[in-house]
């Protein structure tokens, strides 16, 4: 494909990518960049950010330079573009000298439409000199939130990218991210010198994702039940806080028949690379990972993202859950959350590196995450509000589907706060939640006897609530800041906001944790928010197409979605085209794919029909 400005963006969208029309703000972003203007683009995962720089790179003269931190994924990104007939390459440390030289020569000869570079390579003097000799169509800075120290995924290599404004003042630049709070948005704009850029902020809503947060009881068995009843054989990601937790959970899932692989920074690089490649290229793999995994994972058919530990921020949670359902089909963002998560996260912040301002910012991020977990209102409304977007209740999160039951917990909270105060003032002792609950419930144990806790006025005043119910109360009170947990042992201390509650000036309403009734069973898969009910013949055709796609992907050494994503296969099953022209009308089937795969797809359809 040529990069000469002889084709309209809409023609490229149709002929190369196989789509009839732009979505949302895509057309406006493309027009801005094609016209030579700068742009800052905030668009959710699955919203089509890549088209916003790929299409201008194909319309404008020269080569589009894409700055991405994802060295391990560049080969698959280039393979996907090659499948579309786009001339793409990458320069990173995985290439030997001769391979890198060939790419540089192709760039200088004008034989590339897109070139992917890591930020640390871009700012090298040799790379800058190379780009100054080439014809550059644009600079696309992907994952632009990485430049922000306010964000959850800061990378110091991004700080040098502001030099592009000085070295290439006439080349349009586009910065893109799937997540940015107002503070992150402002900082990336300043650091990348994009103050004069047009800003495009799409809705952060991902309506195909169902958000669910459950009380943590036995996290491992809860997860196993969720996978086995709702997502058997599906691709998914499970996030854990520690490397040890990742390894143990991956082994446990594998022992239960789930194809699960670990991913964390403590594994040898070759193991991480192999596990990531299997996740991308095979169906039905569950990746158990720390947050080291996932950014830029362009796998459209991830059907669930699960969290077994509390994320550190809403921004991180949104970014991680956004890796589910990129194809627009239904997906689940599922999490279990308990009292221990609150205590451990606060302890990590207290003991972590960074100055006081950093710790306060981290605590503020955590408070917002806790508010999302404890809300009795629509989770999607709360989530979007964090990004300054107002919305109506969604009807597709757990609090909408089954509204939480609340109760007047004012007296219970007063008893809890009083017990913490009495233990501190009258005994000079501070305890974690376990002993405080024992005092409230009047549980006789060695610690209580040795400290004569039974003589306290608060001894047994909370016997009307079970241990589990008190844990729920403490979790929610900690989340509200009425109590604080300190030190390695998570001792409880009354918070600054407790006074009005103790004086009876403020009433406290808490949510009742729902009883576990087992996971829901899923029926037919949905597409674009609606059910895709496949009759037996259609289901057979879908599986036949998946099998054919798998063979093609294996033969080419690329992920299956590079051939066709599930959403396109559903479109083929629904339309049952009998001619090449009819197949070419299906979303996601561009001219190159039509020419390359069309006859074989029609053959599969014919075989199933016959």
Structure confidence by residue, pLDDT tens digits, 571-585 = 999 999 999 999 999
* Other CB atoms within 10 A of residue 285 CB: 21
**In CATH, 531-609 is 1.10.150.80:** yes
Instruction: Classify residue 258 by its DSSP letter.
Output: -
Of the candidates 99, 550, 154, the one whose C-alpha atom is nearest the C-alpha of residue 358 is: 154
In the chain, residues under CATH classification 3.40.50.300 are 9-201, 209-401
Q: Which two tokens stand for residue 99?
A: 């391979």
Residues of the chain with CATH 1.10.10.10: 406-511
Name the residue among 275, 297, 300 with its Cα closest to residue 286: 275
DSSP code per residue over 5-67: S-S-HHHHHHHTT--SS--TTHHHHHHHHHTT--EEEE--TTS-TTHHHHHHHHHSSSEEEEE
Mean pLDDT of the chain: 88
CA distance 445 to 460: 13
Taking alpha carbons only, the member of 34, 364, 313, 6 closest to residue 198 is 34
Mean pLDDT over 308-329 rounds to 90
Which of the four CATH numbers 3.40.50.300, 3.40.50.720, 3.40.80.10, 3.10.20.440 does domain 9-201 have? 3.40.50.300
Residue 531 pLDDT class (50, 70, 90 cuts): very low
What kind of architecture, by CATH, is found in domain 406-511? Orthogonal Bundle (1.10)
**What is the rounded radius of gyration, in angstroms, for the C-alpha atoms of the chain?**
27
Average pLDDT over residues 534-561: 89
Architecture per CATH, domain 209-401, reads as: 3-Layer(aba) Sandwich (3.40)
- C-alpha to C-alpha distances, 375 to 168, 207, 405, nearest whole angstrom: 48, 19, 11
| Interval 467-494 mean pLDDT | 86
Residue 1's pLDDT is what? Answer: 54
* Chain centroid, CA 253 distance in Å: 22
Q: Which residues contact 536 (CB under 8 A, 6 or more apart)?
A: none
For residue 530 the two structure tokens come to: 């609606």
Q: Lowest-pLDDT range, 311-325, 326-340, 345-359?
A: 345-359
Whether pLDDT at 528 is above 70: no
pTM value is 0.82
Nearest to 200 by CA among 39, 65, 325: 39
Task: Report the pLDDT value the prediction gives residue 86, as an integer from 0 to 100.
Answer: 95
E strands along 178-309, which residues? 198-201, 209-215, 235-239, 260-263, 286-289, 302-307
Q: How far is CA 332 from CA 130, 212, 227, 395, in A?
A: 45, 8, 11, 14
Q: What is the pLDDT of residues 246-260, one digit of tens each?
A: 999 999 999 999 999
Work out the angle at residue 263's Cα, subtended by the Cα atoms of residues 261 and 265, and round it to the nearest 5 degrees: 160
């Amino acid at each position: 494909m040529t990069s000469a400005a002889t084709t309209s963006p809409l023609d490229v969208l149709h002929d190369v990518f196989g789509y009839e029309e732009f979505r949302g703000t895509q057309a406006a972003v493309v027009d801005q960049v094609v016209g030579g203007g700068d742009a800052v683009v905030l668009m959710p995962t699955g919203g089509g950010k890549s088209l916003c720089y790929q299409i201008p790179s194909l319309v404008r003269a020269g080569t589009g330079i894409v700055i991405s931190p994802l060295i391990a994924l560049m080969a698959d990104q280039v393979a996907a573009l090659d499948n579309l007939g786009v001339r793409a390459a990458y320069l990173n440390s995985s290439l030997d000298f001769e391979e890198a030289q060939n790419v540089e020569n192709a760039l200088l000869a004008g034989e590339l439409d897109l070139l992917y570079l890591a930020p640390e390579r871009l700012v090298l003097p040799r790379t800058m000199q190379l780009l100054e000799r080439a014809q550059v169509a644009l600079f696309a800075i992907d994952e632009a939130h990485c430049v922000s120290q306010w964000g959850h995924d800061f990378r110091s290599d991004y700080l040098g990218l502001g030099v592009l404004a000085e070295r290439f003042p006439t080349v349009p630049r586009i910065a893109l991210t799937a997540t940015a709070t107002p503070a992150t948005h402002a900082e990336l704009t300043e650091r990348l010198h994009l103050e004069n850029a047009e800003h495009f902020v799409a809705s952060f809503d991902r309506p195909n994702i169902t958000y669910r947060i459950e009380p943590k009881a036995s996290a491992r068995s809860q997860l196993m039940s969720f996978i086995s009843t709702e997502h058997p054989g599906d691709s998914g990601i499970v996030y854990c806080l520690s490397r040890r937790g990742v390894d143990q959970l991956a082994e446990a899932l594998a022992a239960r028949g789930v194809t699960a692989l670990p991913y964390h920074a403590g594994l040898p690089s070759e193991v991480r690379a192999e596990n990531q490649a299997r996740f991308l290229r095979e169906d039905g793999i569950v990746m158990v990972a720390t947050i080291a995994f996932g950014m830029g994972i362009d796998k459209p058919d991830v059907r669930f993202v699960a969290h077994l530990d509390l994320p550190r921020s809403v921004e991180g949670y949104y970014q991680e859950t956004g890796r589910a359902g990129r194809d627009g089909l239904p997906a689940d963002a599922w999490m279990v959350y308990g009292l221990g998560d609150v205590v451990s996260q606060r302890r990590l912040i207290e003991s972590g590196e960074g100055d006081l301002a950093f710790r306060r910012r981290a605590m503020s991020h955590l408070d917002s995450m806790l508010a999302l977990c404890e809300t009795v209102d629509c989770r999607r409304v709360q989530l979007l509000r964090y990004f300054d977007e107002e919305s109506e209740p969604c009807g597709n999160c757990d609090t909408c589907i089954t509204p939480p039951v609340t109760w007047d917990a004012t007296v219970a909270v007063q008893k809890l706060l009083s017990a913490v105060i009495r233990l501190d003032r009258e005994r000079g002792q501070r305890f974690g939640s376990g002993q405080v609950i024992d005092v409230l419930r009047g549980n006789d144990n060695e610690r209580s006897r040795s400290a004569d806790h039974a003589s306290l006025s608060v001894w047994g005043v909370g016997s009307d609530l079970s241990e589990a119910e008190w844990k729920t109360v403490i979790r929610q009170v900690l989340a509200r800041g009425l109590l604080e947990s300190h030190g390695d042992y998570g001792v409880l201390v009354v918070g600054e906001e407790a006074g009005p509650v103790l004086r009876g000036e403020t009433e406290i309403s808490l949510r009742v944790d729902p009883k576990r009734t087992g996971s829901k069973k899923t029926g037919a898969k949905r597409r674009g928010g609606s059910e895709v009910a496949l009759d037996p013949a259609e289901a057979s055709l879908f599986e036949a197409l998946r099998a054919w796609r798998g063979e093609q992907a294996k033969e080419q050494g690329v992920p299956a979605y590079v051939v066709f994503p599930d959403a396109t296969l559903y479109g083929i099953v629904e339309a049952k085209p009998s001619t090449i022209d009819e197949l070419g009308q299906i979303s996601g089937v561009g001219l190159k794919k039509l020419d390359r795969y069309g006859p074989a797809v029609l053959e599969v359809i014919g075989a199933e029909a016959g």
